[in-house]
A and B are shown apart, each in its own frame.
Chain A
Amino acid sequence: MAQPMVEVSHITMDFRMDKNRTTNLKEYVVNALTGRTNIAMFHALDDVSFTVEKGSVTGLIGHNGAGKSTILKVISGIYKPTSGTVTVHGRVVPMLELGSGFDAELTGRENILLNGAILGYPKAFLYSKLDEIIEYSELGDFIRMPLKTYSSGMLARLAFSIATVVKPDVLIVDEILSVGDEHFQRKSRARMMELMSGGTTVLFVSHNLAQLRQMCDRVIWIDHGKVRAAGDTQAVCDAYEEQA
């Protein structure tokens, strides 16, 4: 059996929801004085456990609000779970929303460095990859222009190039395999395939069952914050399709 890359064990995630939506000090003080607190708990994840093996491609399915994105955020280290532990052996690159670390005033080249730094890559490594990223993005002379002059497709291409050229150990993807135009989509799909065969562990959320069946080694079905089924791609997809 291959070694585990991501180990999720007994994750529970509760969100405190303040129904008064207190966002300022004045209201907070007034509420505290009058004893009007109105806090509800929302259990986004309830005792979720699974492991992702090294080099595997795992898909997450489930209806909207089932907790798929929450799981990805817990694994990425963005949310600290209420209880349970996540162990990741290696570097995670989350692609939860493309280009979230971009600065519109800076040029494409400067943004590659900034974005790479945000993902925690060291300086020397990024400079050595810079040309490769620029070439892969196919942005040409636009790389020296500020990002505010880019179209949304160009932005997506740049973000995808940064996230994948650096070859992360674990790539976390939330529904983004539709990047750029037809040409770049084909290229990005090929890139994903290349990463997968090259040892990158991929964890992704998708509602596109055909895509999941084609790409995944394993599928996990999340339902109301719990693991409803996990295992063979075709079997889980069939069960999900039947219920939906």
Chain B
Amino acid sequence: MKNHSIFRYGFLLEQLVKRNFNTKYRQSVLGVLWSFLNPMLTMAVQYIVFSALFQSDIAHFPVYLLSGIILFGFFNECVSLGMDSIVLNGPLITKVAMPKIIYPLSRSLSSLINLVISFVPLLAVMLFSGAPFSWALLLIPAVTALLFLFALGMTLILCTLNVFFRDTRFLWSVVSLLWTYATPIFYPISIIPPPWQPVFRLNPMYQFIDFLRTITIHGACPAPAQWGMCIACAVIPLAAGILIFRRNEDKFVFHL
């Protein structure tokens, strides 16, 4: 069976996403509410801790916080669960032939659903804190899509590496922690010493979060340069991810 078209496996993708969703919520009392509660609780804690420090500098601080928490939370979940997707499905990959990209892809799509759900509390907090509701909000799907492509690209790179080197996971937990602190989630980028700021702006996660904040806090459409940066931050890692994954996927089966 040489025709391993992804489209022929659309139903498998649907089934795998459904499985991720069901197994996540089936045995929890709160169910889907978790997708609301998790970012809200994180926001509440960070708000209490940091509001005295940064609130005067930042308009609509709860919205500022939650925009960052939601996007970074998605990225973290998507990559850390996705990087194990090939290894965890090893028993299957060694017994049935199929397009292997289905596993990281279905995992990332499941996280995407969570992200979309968590926009509900974001809108609620916007309403509560009096942030502007403008037409710019219609751009939320755009930033969501770009961030998704970036996260998928990173997932593809890391899940490939994880097949060959199982300590990738431990390495990644350190990297992701550093990445969290290097991203202006609860602090403004203005507290970074000016010579370092251009370096911090190279962080793709900063670009996506800043894009969302332009929409939610300023109610404005991001400038063309910001669009350019976000598109580049999505497309380049995705292309790299697909390339690395394709180059190596035939070898996975020997390392599982």
Contact = CB atoms under 8 A, between A and B. Distances in A.
Contacts of B10: 123
B246 interface: no
Interface in B1-56: 1-2, 4, 8-12, 14-16, 19, 22-23, 26
Interface in A48-81: 76-80
Interface in B91-117: 91-98
A118 B96 contact: yes
Contact of B97 (A76, A117, A126): A76
A25 B23 contact: no
A97 B22 contact: no
A118 B98 contact: yes
A70 B12 CA distance: 26
Contacts, number: 87
A117 B9 contact: yes
Contacts of A87: 2
11 contacts: A16-B254, A23-B165, A25-B167, A76-B97, A77-B4, A78-B95, A78-B97, A87-B2, A96-B96, A101-B95, A123-B14
A101 B165 contact: no
A25 B165 CA distance: 5
B110 to A, nearest CB: 14
A28 B255 CA distance: 14
B168 interface: yes
Interface residues on B, range: 20 to 34
B244 to A, nearest CB: 15
A80 B251 CA distance: 8
Interface of B: 1-2, 4, 8-12, 14-16, 19, 22-23, 26, 91-98, 161, 164-168, 171, 250, 253-255
Interface of A: 15-16, 23-26, 28, 76-80, 87-88, 91-92, 94, 96-97, 100-101, 103, 105-106, 110, 113-114, 117-123, 126
Contact of B168 (A25, A78, A110, A122): A25
Nearest to B22: A106
Given A25-B171, A78-B253, A92-B1, A123 B96 contact: no
A222 B26 CA distance: 48
A80 B250 contact: yes
B223 to A, nearest CB: 40
A123 B95 contact: no
Contacts of B98: 118, 120
